[in-house]
Structures are given as C-alpha cells and as structure tokens.
Amino acid sequence: MLPQEFTQLLNNWRNGDKTALDQMTPILYEELRRIARHFLAGERPDHTLQPTALVHEAYMRLVDQHSVDWKNRAHFLGVAASMMRRILINHARSQQAAKREGYTHAIALEDAFGVFTDPQIDLVELNTALQELTELDPQQGRVVELRYFGGLTIEETAEAMGISPATVKREWGTARLWLLRQMEGPVQ
C-alpha cells in the first residue's frame, strides 16, 4: 500500500469512516511486526525496545510525509496504540495458553513481540482492569491505552485526544494507582 493510500484511510477514519480502521489494522499490524524484527536484528542485546519507537517508525513508513499535518500524526499514534495493546494482550494470552497446553503450536505473530513483557505486570490482568476502568471512565481508559500501550508522551497523548497535557497527567497518575489496586487488591 502506498503512503498516500494509507494517509487517505487515516483521513477517512478521522472524518468518521469506521471501516477505515479495519482496513488500516492489518497493514499497521504487519508493519509494526516488521519493524520490531528490524529492531531486533539491528540492536545490541541491551537495547530497550519501546513501542514508541516502533510506532513512530511505522508512521514514517506508512504515512505520506508531504500531506500530513500534526493532527494526522496524533491520530495515527492513537491507532497504533490500540494496535499495540491488541498485540500485547494477544501475546500474553497465547503465552498463558501455551503454558497450559504445552508448547504445541507456534504463535506466528509473537515471535517478534515477545520482548514486550514487563515481568512485574500480568498483561491479561491489566487488560481486564483497564476494561473496567474504561467502563467507569472512557477518557481515562484511553489515556492509559495511549500512554502505556502506545508509549506516547503526555504531549502526544494530549494531542491525540484533543485534551490538555495537564489533564492527561492527572488522568494517568490517578489511573495508574487505580489499576494497581485493582490488580493487587487493597492493602491489608
């Protein structure tokens, strides 16, 4: 797909065309996967692989550099963050399944994404907690998705959501504690 075409999809989505997202998803997904592979192939083992870098690079590749404005980029980052979440959760789930069922089948997508696991966090549990938070407070849930799964900065998150950086900061700070409590249970 040409960058111009992808940019067009992005614009359509921005303008309310929900099907555009479905068309973008597999392309972006594949692109992220490819980039992650390149990262792994080129970096030293001590490199910290952050989704941000992936997402930014995917943007560079997929979006027509001549026609996009800052808004477009913010929206793209938003799409990518949802994508990262999906990838990571899929990965975590399949890992658990693999543990249960033995390592019977290879999980094609995860070979490049195995790196994204923080040993201190059970992503499936986090995802459940985040779903609960999103029901309580959709805006806050989205902030977490962008910040945590997309690796977006406060400013980028603010830009993508059209809210102020101060709000993002507040939402993120409180959501973090709520999620942790939800996952760990209240202090005894």
Which residues sit at the interface with other proteins, rule CB under 8 A?
35, 38-53, 56-57, 60, 84, 88, 91, 94-95, 98, 103, 106-107, 110-112, 114-121, 123, 126, 135-137, 140, 147-149, 151, 170, 172-174, 176-181, 184, 186-187
What is the C-alpha separation between 110 and 142, in angstroms, rounded?
Answer: 24
Smallest gap from Cβ 163 to other proteins, in A, equals 14
Q: Which is nearer to other proteins, 20 or 144 (CB)?
A: 144
3-state DSSP assignment of residue 141: helix
43 closest CA partner among 95, 120, 115, 110: 115
Smallest gap from Cβ 5 to other proteins, in A, equals 21
AA identity, residue 130 = L
Smallest gap from Cβ 16 to other proteins, in A, equals 25
Q: Which is nearer to other proteins, 16 or 108 (CB)?
A: 108
Q: Which is nearer to other proteins, 15 or 101 (CB)?
A: 101
What is the C-alpha separation between 20 and 65, in angstroms, rounded?
Answer: 19
What is the C-alpha separation between 17 and 30, in angstroms, rounded?
Answer: 22
Smallest gap from Cβ 77 to other proteins, in A, equals 12
Residue 91 burial by CB count (10 A; 0-12/13-18/19+): exposed, middle or buried?
Answer: buried
Q: Which is nearer to other proteins, 20 or 158 (CB)?
A: 158
What is the C-alpha separation between 138 and 147, in angstroms, rounded?
Answer: 14
Smallest gap from Cβ 166 to other proteins, in A, equals 10
